[in-house]
Amino acid sequence: MNSPFKLDRRTKIVATLGPASNDEQVLRTLVEAGVNVFRLNFSHGTHEDQRERFNLIRSMEAEFDRPIGILMDLQGPKLRIGTFAEGRITLKKGDSFNLYLEKRLGDQEGVSLPHKEIFDVLEVGHELLVDDGKIRLKVTQISPLVAVTTVVVGGVISDRKGVNVPDKQLPISALTEKDRADLEYGLELGVDWVALSFVQRPEDIIEARALVNGRAGVLAKLEKPSALDQLYRIIELADAVMVARGDLGVELPPERVPAIQKRIVETARSLGRPVIVATQMLESMINSPVPTRAEASDVATAIYDGADAVMLSAETAAGQYPVEAVEVMARIITETERDVRSNHALKVYPLEGEPTDADAIARAASDIASARRCVAIVTFSSTGSTTLRAARARGLVPILGLTPSHHVARKLTLVWGVYAVQTRDVVSLSDMVGKAARMVQRKGFALLGDRMVVTAGVPFGQPGSTNVIRLVEVTKEYDKPNL
């Protein structure tokens, strides 16, 4: 069965699975509502839970006859305080409070912070954020085993709350032992993307890429301010990035996050890396069937900036209205992309193209498609690189990404404006043009007489640069069955 695509939006939707969306019927409805990629959060649930979700997604893929991407999100290093004898205490502004390297039950005087990595970088004057910044502690004295702090912002503090160290790069890997075990399990399942949490430096990406070894795309979650110091290099090494605004908003003042979001999106686009904007996009829809107007504007801003995808977290994983959240997200995307200012905004900051023939051809394909009122750009690619180049231009027409690889087709579900199809490879230019013409008709892009632009890399079937561009009219001679 060759079902047509819904050609109503170019920005993709990533949805997180969880207790609210484990049911087969709910999952089916989420796909119908517009989800392109599902996120499996390995911070929660067992490996068997993730396998069941994975298998459900793959069954939906077969039912809907189109690729659906699967992104596994690794937990990353979680820095936490220890436990209290009474479970919790209340701190007041101005209180003295100790953090002990050694393990011990906490009380009103202090609590264990069993992370030598933190003690190695702490200095007098540093602030520590506990429980997503609800508690703020300022270091007044430091020794190898005890950090004496003064409470800047007080409140209730309880067992095993998370700790953030703003403005410091901690000497720890982004991959814990748990992450390594989860990673191998996810790769054996066949996930398409691996999201690496708490990336701080380029070496984190290099380490992950070595472990993944080409079996999935590596996505860098940018949620640590220290990563911003080497942002270009981190994005350059990654296959995709995520603006993870939750932790960014903990370690940075909230007024700085919007500009940083724009900087990350622009850098990712300039390097041709897919970029997701995530966290609290429709947060109120966890408990409400409608979003706030501010949330709708937030989603639209990411689209105006040119993000490849927007992501729902607790809204679909644990919320009361998972399907409604996706439907609202899809409507916001569609309405924003209809606005003429949307395309204008994508052209305000012209991207600096790589000085290659392949990028020049991709840009030319976009320009020709616009000038000749083509209905589609069709790309042939064994690795997805030709399709990524076409998407980077943010042209006016949709991109039909043809590839012989199921894996590449699923990875392309994350990419702006791309509708991916797994199909047999082509062997000649005439074969390429004929297959492109048949596919644009079967998938609902074109009718007889419509024009399209076709790009590919020759020789066919070998990874390489984009070096072919053709302007084609869809005629009856290409309408051959069973090809």
Supply the residues annotated as catalytic.
Answer: 39, 80, 221, 279
The span from the CA of 452 to the CA of 82, in Å, is: 61
**What is the separation of C-alpha 413 from the centre of its chain, rounded to a whole number of angstroms?**
11
By the 8 A CB rule, do 210 and 189 touch?
Answer: no
Structural tokens at position 234: 């981190």
Which residue is it, tokens 């709350």? 161
Cross-strand partners of 80:
162
- Dihedral (CA of 20, 22, 24, 30) sign: positive
